[in-house]
Amino acid sequence: MNSKNRLLANSSTLLFLSVNTLSGATLARWTPVSTALPEGTSYDSGSDTPSPSEAAANLVVSTLARVPANSFTNAGIRYPGLASQSFDTSEYTEFAIAPASGYQVNLESLSYSTNTYGRMNNADGYTVYVRTSTDGFATDLGSQTITDSSADTFVIDISALQGVDSPTTFRIYAVDNAQAGGNAWFDLDGSDTSTTTGLIISGDVVSIPEPSAVLLLSFSSIALLSRRRK
């Protein structure tokens, strides 16, 4: 390899290293614990919404909101929610992310630790759907159904969202597939001593390459392809 091709190849390698960082990292985590409330570790979703317990650098993350908001306090380290008897676009849990200027986000997964007080172990179970503002919440980005127990963690693939460079809102819809006895409790579990429970989104925060860097990458690819053909 001559000196010119070696320089281009090395430049390409350096560029890939600078862009692909924080792979699979936790972008944000919401743990619904509020020791400031009179009831201690209970969380009153009627007056407060959980702020993120963890957020990646160069990423702005919103609080967690329940729509419609519940006005009661539920015992335990949980954020009260509801699972509708059928898919209802007016009932969801919502949050938003926004990369800082000069950065973009590559999403990987969303995990949701939940407790349904014994009702998930019916034959039909619960299904969680995720939609986003990228298409006006019109289609499902991902979904998962669990039937095995009252407490479990949903892990949903959201890797279809790549190169997100503008504010994006996520909505999580929970459906009680048994459709019996009215809407069921569907609470977000979390602990201030655990980094693996609560609501977690994972992925990468990467810098957006400068136009000159993209041009260099193109030249590097052409040079490498030309060398292989010789």
Q: What is the mean pLDDT of residues 46-52?
A: 63
| Cα dihedral 121/41/63/174 (nearest 10) | 10
Asked if residue 134 has pLDDT above 70, the reply is yes
Q: What pLDDT is stored for residue 139 in this prediction?
A: 97
34 phi, psi to nearest 5 deg? -135, 95
Q: What is the pTM of this model?
A: 0.74
* Residue pair 216/7 in contact by the 8 Å Cβ criterion: no
C-alpha distance across the termini of the chain, in Å? 11
Angle, in degrees to the nearest 10, between helices 211-229 and 3-19: 130
Q: Report d(CA 205, CA 20) in Å as an integer.
A: 9
Check pLDDT > 90 for residue 4.
no
How many other β-carbons are positioned within 10 Å of the β-carbon of residue 100? 13
Report how far residue 150's alpha carbon sits from residue 222's, in angstroms, rounded to the nearest whole number. 55
In this prediction, residue 193 has a pLDDT band, given cuts at 50, 70 and 90, of confident
Give the CA diameter of the chain: 75
Q: Per-residue pLDDT tens for 13-43?
A: 333 333 333 347 999 998 865 444 444 444 4
Question: Taking 90 as the threshold, does the pLDDT of residue 117 lie above it?
Answer: no
Whether the predicted pLDDT of 201 surpasses 80: yes
